[in-house]
Structures are given as structure tokens and as C-alpha cells.
Amino acid sequence: MSSVLFDVPGPRARLRHRVLAVVGVLGVAGLIGFTLYRFYDSGQFEPRLWEWIQYENVQIELLKRLGNTLSAFGAGAVLALLLGAILAAGRLSDHAFWRVPAAILVEVFRAIPLLILIFLFYYGSSTFGFKPTPFMAVVAGLTLYNGSVLAEIFRAGVLSLPKGQAEAAYALGMRKTQVMTTVLLPQALRVMLPTIVSQLVVLLKDTALGFIITYNELLDYVKYLGAQGQFGRPLVPLTLVVGAMYISMCLLLTWLASSLEKRNRRNKKAVDRVQDAPPAVPADA
């Protein structure tokens, strides 16, 4: 009736957990209800403040800004994953020539706030005679910061595997590159996937920092529309709509990662069943 980490709760503990869960849900529901009531009481749900959403130009511009946000996220995610894999390989190297510079890069870019990185690329590059676009500055900052974080995630995922996995592969005569790509990484990815998805969600939300350097993304358009007197300065309605869009994108990303994880789990079970199946007996035996 017990596991390694904790004792299985008894009847009283389960009842207490259910009561606490109900109280917690009621508390969250009450907080949400109070917030909505305050919005209603302050007139944030008046039709005048929501007229902006009926304009076709506003709808088209919102979709365009959403596309810009997704473009920055897609480019930053791909480059950050690639950079993270390279830095993780460097940190796992047996040679100090690769290991030390990779460790320095990871520690430096992980310690610098993302907003400062974006500022450095957008404003600091002009001192070298190069003026990047806001998109390039946002993607560069996202790549360096999240790539350094992902490098540590990759390294921790590989090191979390039992050492016997690599030792058995080396005993078969495999090189370190073969051991990493064919033995360790496929197993480590299943362990790292939830953490990788969490970091990609952070990357998606961090694209909103692009409005600081006038990158045409969702938050920049919210700031513009929220200052329009003809719409009654609907800052709260705009925030609710754009917040719902960000939540939908994050949930979609999480759902996609969960689907991939379930698919990998099904494939692993199928391979295990094939390996555990008894050998076929010849017909003439």
C-alpha cells in the first residue's frame, strides 16, 4: 500500500483531499467571478467598447499580427532547438576545447534577460554598421536565451539515463556519436518532452516583448488600438481578446506535444510486444 515516494492515502486522507480540491475550485471560480463582476461594474462589457471587433480592417490586422507572432515563434523555436542541441553536445563533449566555450555561452546567455538581448541586437548592432529589422532582433534574442536554456534541458535529459545504456553501446563497438544519436537521444527525448514544451510555451509568450522595439505583433497592435479615442480606448476588452488568443496557441502547442508523446508511447509498447513475443516454431518441427 505504499510507493517509493509517498504512502498511499487512506480513506480520511482521500476525503480531505477531495474537500480541499472542492474548496480550491470554488475559490478560483469565486475569484474569476469577482473579476468579471468588476469588469461589468466598471463598464468594460458595454457594446461601445467592443465595436472595434466588428471592423473588417481590425480583424484583418489582428490576423496579420497573429501571423507575425507565429512567424517569430516558429523561427525562434527552430533556431533555439538547433542551438540548444549544439550547445548540449558541446557541454557533453570529452574535449575541453568544446566543453568550456559551450558552458560559457550557456551560462552567459541564460543569465542575461531576454529584453536586454533584444535591445543589444536592435540598438547595439548599429555600432558595427549593421541595422537589423525588429523581426531579426526578436528572433536572435529568443534564439540565444531559449537555446541556452534548452541546452541544459537536453544535457540533463541525457545525463538522467542509466550509465549502463552507454556502456553497453560502447561494448558493442559503437562510437560516441552513434551512441548519442541511436541510443541515448531517442530515450532522453521522451523524458525531456514535457520540459521542452514548457520552454516553447515560454518562447511563444516572450514574442510579446517585440512591441518594445516596434515589432508588428499582437501586443503592439493592442497598444495602438487601446489608445484610439474613437473606440473608447478599449484596453481591457483588447487585452481579454488577445489573452484568449495566446491561451489558445499555448493549449494547441501543449495538445500537439501530448499527441506526440502518446504516439511515441504506443510505438514503444508495440516494439516491446514484438520483442517479448515467443519465437515462431517451424512447421516441420
Architecture of domain 53-255: Orthogonal Bundle (1.10)
Contacts of 96 (CB under 8 A, 6+ apart): none
> Domain extents for the chain?
53-255
- Res. 73: pLDDT tops 50: yes
At 5 the pLDDT is 52
Residue labelled with grid coordinates 525531456: 192
pLDDT-derived band at 277 (thresholds 50, 70, 90) equals: low
- In the chain, the percentage of residues whose pLDDT exceeds 70 is 90
pLDDT tens-digit map of 195-250: 888 899 999 999 989 888 888 888 888 888 887 777 777 888 888 888 888 999 98
At 21 the pLDDT is 92
- Angle at which helices 114-124 and 134-159 cross, to 10°: 140
| Three cell numbers, residue 236 | 481591457
- Res. 266: pLDDT tops 70: no
Q: Which of 78 and 225 is assigned the larger pLDDT? A: 78
Assign 3-class secondary structure to 62-76. HHHHHHHHHHHHHHH
pLDDT tens-digit map of 105-124: 999 998 999 999 999 999 88
Q: Is 13 exposed, middle or buried (0-12, 13-18, 19+ CB in 10 A)?
A: exposed
- Res. 98: pLDDT tops 70: yes
Q: Which of 138 and 236 is assigned the larger pLDDT? A: 138
3-state secondary structure of 2: strand
Q: What is the pTM of this model?
A: 0.78
